[in-house]
A and B are shown apart, each in its own frame.
Chain A
Amino acid sequence: DTGVSQNPRHKITKRGQNVTFRCDPISEHNRLYWYRQTLGQGPEFLTYFQNEAQLEKSRLLSDRFSAERPKGSFSTLEIQRTEQGDSAMYLCASSFRPSISTDTQYFGPGTRLTVL
C-alpha cells in the first residue's frame, strides 16, 4: 500500500493556460474524490467517482473544470483557461466502500497550483 499519489506536486502556469493534474488512488479503492484548499481554509469538496462514474459535482466546479476516471483507477482533473482565482492546493482522496464503517478517505499530498 503506497498511499494516494498526486502529480505534479507543484504547477506554475500563466493565466489562460490549461493544466492537468493526475491522481493515483490506493489500489482497489473504488471511490475517488477531489477537493480544493485555499490558503487559510479547509478543503472544499469538488467531485467524486465511484469506479468510473462521476456521481456528484460541486457548484465550485465551473465549466472550465473537468474530471475523469476512465478505467476506474487513476483520475485526472483539468482546468481550462486558468484564472488567478484557481490558485490553490488540489487534493485527491480515495476510499473503499463496502460499508460506511470502513469508508475512510485517505488523502494524497496535493498539487499546488499557482496561476500568474
Chain B
Amino acid sequence: AQSVTQLDSQVPVFEEAPVELRCNYSSSVSVYLFWYVQYPNQGLQLLLKYLSGSTLVKGINGFEAEFNKSQTSFHLRKPSVHISDTAEYFCAVSENDYKLSFGAGTTVTVRA
C-alpha cells in the first residue's frame, strides 16, 4: 500500500526567501506524484505532477519539484516566495490512475 509523509507540518518563511517542502513516499510499485495547494476557503488546486520522464517537474506559480526514486522523495521548491503563497500544501501519490493518497499537509506562512 502507498503512503506519504510530509516531513514538516509548518514552514514559516520570509517574503522573497526560498522555500522547500519535503515529501517522502512508500510504495512497492511505480507511482505518480502530485503537489496540490489549498488556499484558505478554497478547493485543492494542482501545482504540478510527475508521471514519467524528466525528474524535474515545473508547475504553476514558479514552483518546481524533483522526483528522486532512490530516496523515494518528491520535494517541492520555490526560489522566492510571495505573501500570496501562504497556504497549505499537500503531497499525493497514486499507484494507479484514480486513487490519490495524500500526506497530512504543510502549512506555509509567508511573512513580510
Contact = CB atoms under 8 A, between A and B. Distances in A.
Interface in A57-113: 91, 93, 97, 100-101, 103-110
Contacts of B43: 3-4, 91, 106-110
A3 B4 CA distance: 27
Given A48-B99, A101-B51, A41 B44 contact: no
Choose among A40, A101, A107, A108 the residue with the greatest number of B CB atoms under 10 Å from its CB. A107
B100 A43 contact: yes
A1 B92 CA distance: 25
Contacts, number: 53
Contact of A42 (B32, B92, B97): B92
Interface stretch (B13-21, B63-71, B75-83, B101-109): B101-109
A97 B97 contact: yes
Interface of B: 4, 32, 36, 41-46, 49, 51, 90, 92, 97-105
11 contacts: A40-B105, A41-B105, A42-B104, A56-B98, A104-B49, A106-B43, A106-B46, A107-B44, A108-B43, A109-B41, A109-B42
